[in-house]
Amino acid sequence: MDPDRPQSLLSIRTSLILFTGLLVATVSDVNAQSDLTLQDVAEVPSPLPIQRIQGPIELDGVVDEPAWEEIDPLPMTMHAPTFGIPGTEFTEVRVAYDDEYLYVSGKMFDSEPSGIRTNTLFRNQYSGDDLMAVIIDTFNDHETALWFTTNPEGNRIDRTISNDAVSAGGQPFMNFDWNAHWDVETSRSDEGWFAEFRIPFSTLGFQVENGQVTMGLSVYRFIARKNERQTFPAVDPGIGGMAFARPSQAHRIVLEDVSQPTPVFVTPYLTSGVTWLPDPSGEELPAGAPSELQTDPTWEVGGDVRFSPSSNLTLDVTVNTDFAQVEADEEQVNLTRFPLFFPEKRQFFQERASTFQFSSGRGSDRLFNSRNLGLVDGEIVRIYGGLRAVGRIGGTDYGFLNMQTAASETEPGENMGVFRARQQVLNQYSTVGGMVTSRLGGDRDNVAYGLDANLRLFGDEWMQVRWAQTFDEAVEEESPLEAGLLRLRWERVRDAGLSYAGEFMRVGRDYRPGLGFQTRHDVHFLGARAQYKRFHDAESSLRSTSVDVGTQHFLRNREGSASTRTLSPGVTWEFKGGTEFRLRGGANFENPRSPFTVGDATILPGEYWFYEGELEYRRPNSARFRGSASVVAGTFYDGNRLGASWNPTWNPSQHLELGGGVEINRLEFSERDVSTTTRLARARVRIALNTQISFSTLVQYSNVDEMVSVNARFRYHFREGTDLWVVLNEGRHTRSIDALGTPLPGSAGGNLMIKYTHTTLW
């Protein structure tokens, strides 16, 4: 290792952070002095002043206080299954506030109260229930929002929205793993069901300008048995994305003379448990022996501190960070020669995670992937501690993250840092920004930076520009182009009628984002997609019909030869009850240069054209018994493929949810007399005695790994921030000897942990 290289990389990181900050500040200044703005064609409604609550509110879900009657209800409109007509059931939603809280009440009247559905009491789980939800664009940025939902039994779901609820380029726009401090109570009667939300300003975060706070507000009611959604404001589903949840479409509201409280949340934790692993002594073990294990009792102490010195800045400090309670990843079958992506589930990385988003390619490619912090090849590495700061000043969003890890068995300890900034330009829907990441102290230091622009130019037309470059100690970068990534994308974001997208991307041979995720290198990409979607009238049983076609071409940079080509036409029928059918075809070209395995079969180097067809059936998400099933058949490289999957979920009661999935692929290469079958199965059980006590277990089996894994979690939720967890993880071998004939123990290792967290407000 060059002793001067770490210092030079550190200097590069510092310089790039300063450069990115100066760029955003300069653009911000130019934007502030410019009169150039782009307006929507539709007239923007005036902001709605929200009344202060005049009188006490008892949070009991009954909605009978006189203070509520002094507030006018919001006008609700049917969003689906038919947009623009009155709802079939009457709904009254009112919004108010005081010095500490935003209050929302709902009266969900129902002419058939026995049909009201409450399918689960499991926190953060939607299971086909009737719902009431509040979506708040707290910083009035028309791009991000917080989403609070409850069902008739007061079960809570919270999540965040980014990218204006549009999945541009395949990137996700919702974070289901975010949790916040807020309260809701519900009640039922023979008239329907009722809810009262109380959301602390300390949870929301906002900007105060001239004594006023402007936010975006959307609310909706969902009637499960009718697949009916009523919303305020009225939002045409044809605009694209998850239309009713798009922050840009929320109605602006104004609050007077409020300030965000600045409590300090202190959350220490204590864990204790035991870990077991196969005996590492090297002695030959009896086949299937479960007792030849090395056990290691352990206990840990640590904690998190959160402080908001102002309404638009949040600081988080973590010490000896622990993620014992995190749910296990769902296993995937890989039919490609590229790595699989797994989402982030750890709670510390969820708060305003959208600030750190930087899409760098197709699907899950990104400049920063938080799963690189504290995980090495899927194994947990101790995090000594870290700091995160996220905030907003004017039209600028910024975020800083730095964490220090301990040494692992294969890697020395590392310091990992991220800085991100984005500035609104031209209009309230467009931004430019930059990001810097660093990974220092390991066996190879790595620094990367990126610059991006997301511009709504006119109407529904959007343009994205991305440039990123990396500096890696172990790579002799040929040039900035070869160490860089360039991405250009033009897209019409629209559902009704014609929508389209075109994209160019070039990834250099030496591009290596140390904290990112990138599936392909040394390629350039050309892709396009077009869709035509029609929404049917009230008399039709269909809600919409859409026809789409997409094509992708990955070409090698040096010689220009094709690595991958695809052409994928499809048609989708969506019924008003929520059922969907999709028929898809595919023509695929692959040119692997080295062999790779799928199951027990080896795909040899060569040029292959192969074709397939797929039929998918999806039951309504609002049904007690729901899920999807698909069948795919066709050629596969130099053989044939027949695949099927089924992912059912059933709620026999609000206390029990049973789910799972099966995926089977039969691959036959008759000319080589080779065949293999991949099988993946999972079973999930969720039990909730009430909204505080719950148990879940996930059992997974893969014949490719020849393993059964178990993740079981018990949770006693005393209140937000205070929990008792009991967690079991174990892997079990399904065969007694490995590929070399060495006997395997029954257990591949596991742990049993007890964790207690308690949040105190100062």
- pLDDT over 70 at 278, yes or no: yes
**What is the pLDDT at residue 762?**
77
Buried b (16+ CB within 10 A) or exposed e, 651-665: beebbbbebbbbbbb
**What is the pLDDT at residue 290?**
46
Instruction: Indicate the pTM of the whole model.
Output: 0.80
**What is the pLDDT at residue 34?**
33
The one-character DSSP state at 743 is B
Other residues' Cβ atoms within 10 Å of the Cβ of residue 689: 11
Asked whether the beta carbons of 454 and 359 are under 8 A apart, the reply is no
Residue 572 lies in a domain: no
Read off the CATH number of the domain in which 178 is found. 2.60.40.1190
- pLDDT over 70 at 35, yes or no: no
Lowest average pLDDT, out of 189-193, 441-445, 638-642, 664-668, goes to 441-445
Confidence of residue 288 (pLDDT cuts 50, 70, 90): very low
What one-letter code names the amino acid at 729? Answer: N
- Return phi, psi of residue 170, to 5°: 85, 0
Which residue segment(s) compose the domain that 187 sits in?
A: 46-256
User: Which whole number is the average pLDDT over 118-137?
Assistant: 92
**What is the pLDDT at residue 333?**
63
Residue 299 lies in a domain: no
User: Which whole number is the average pLDDT over 378-393?
Assistant: 83
Residue 288 lies in a domain: no
Q: Specify whether the backbone of 669 is left (phi greater than 0), alpha (psi in -120 to 50) or beta.
A: beta
- As a whole number of angstroms, the distance between CA 115 and CA 192 comes to 10
- As a whole number of angstroms, the distance between CA 451 and CA 521 comes to 19
- 30 token code pair: 């130019």
| pLDDT top residue among 493 and 363 | 493
Predicted confidence (pLDDT) per residue in 564-600, tens digit: 999 999 999 999 988 999 999 999 999 999 998 888 8
Predicted confidence (pLDDT) per residue in 653-687, tens digit: 999 999 999 999 999 999 999 999 999 999 999 99
**What is the pLDDT at residue 745?**
72
Q: Give the whole-number percent of the chain exceeding pLDDT 90.
A: 47
**Residue 299: helix, strand or coil by DSSP?**
strand
Asked whether the beta carbons of 24 and 32 are under 8 A apart, the reply is no
What one-letter code names the amino acid at 20? Answer: T
| pLDDT top residue among 346 and 62 | 62
User: Which whole number is the average pLDDT over 614-630?
Assistant: 92
Of residues 389, 346, 347, 344, the one with CA closest to residue 369: 344
- 164 token code pair: 């204006």
Q: Give the whole-number percent of the chain exceeding pLDDT 70.
A: 86
Confidence of residue 261 (pLDDT cuts 50, 70, 90): confident
Contacts of 240 (CB under 8 A, 6+ apart): 166, 460, 493, 494, 495, 499
- pLDDT over 80 at 260, yes or no: no
Contacts of 299 (CB under 8 A, 6+ apart): 270, 271, 272, 273
The one-character DSSP state at 44 is P
Contacts of 435 (CB under 8 A, 6+ apart): 20, 356, 358, 367, 368, 418, 419, 420, 421, 449, 450, 452
| pLDDT top residue among 488 and 353 | 488
Predicted confidence (pLDDT) per residue in 724-738, tens digit: 999 998 888 887 776
Confidence of residue 18 (pLDDT cuts 50, 70, 90): very low
- As a whole number of angstroms, the distance between CA 422 and CA 432 comes to 6
**Residue 155: helix, strand or coil by DSSP?**
coil
Residue 695 lies in a domain: no
**What is the pLDDT at residue 281?**
53
User: Which whole number is the average pLDDT over 178-204?
Assistant: 92
- As a whole number of angstroms, the distance between CA 518 and CA 683 comes to 31
User: Which whole number is the average pLDDT over 228-235?
Assistant: 94
**What is the pLDDT at residue 185?**
95
- pLDDT over 60 at 283, yes or no: no
**What is the pLDDT at residue 651?**
92
- 696 token code pair: 């879940």
Find the angle CA(41)-CA(47)-CA(51) to the nearest 5 degrees: 160
Predicted confidence (pLDDT) per residue in 71-115, tens digit: 999 999 999 998 988 999 999 999 999 988 999 999 999 999 999
- N residues, the chain: 762
- As a whole number of angstroms, the distance between CA 451 and CA 30 comes to 17
**What is the pLDDT at residue 604?**
92
**What is the pLDDT at residue 92?**
96
**What is the pLDDT at residue 695?**
94
- As a whole number of angstroms, the distance between CA 254 and CA 137 comes to 12
- 527 token code pair: 């892709």
Rg of the chain, C-alpha, whole Å: 27
**What is the pLDDT at residue 647?**
94
**What is the pLDDT at residue 7?**
47
Predicted confidence (pLDDT) per residue in 443-454, tens digit: 788 999 999 998
Buried b (16+ CB within 10 A) or exposed e, 166-196: bebbebebbbbbbbbbbbbbbbbeeebbbbb
- Return phi, psi of residue 209, to 5°: -130, 120
Predicted confidence (pLDDT) per residue in 427-476, tens digit: 878 889 999 999 988 778 899 999 999 898 888 898 999 999 999 988 88
**What is the pLDDT at residue 653?**
92
- As a whole number of angstroms, the distance between CA 447 and CA 515 comes to 9
Residue 216 lies in a domain: yes
The residue behind tokens 């929320």 is 250
Q: In whole numbers, what is the pLDDT of the chain averaged over residues? A: 85
User: How many domains in the chain?
Assistant: 1
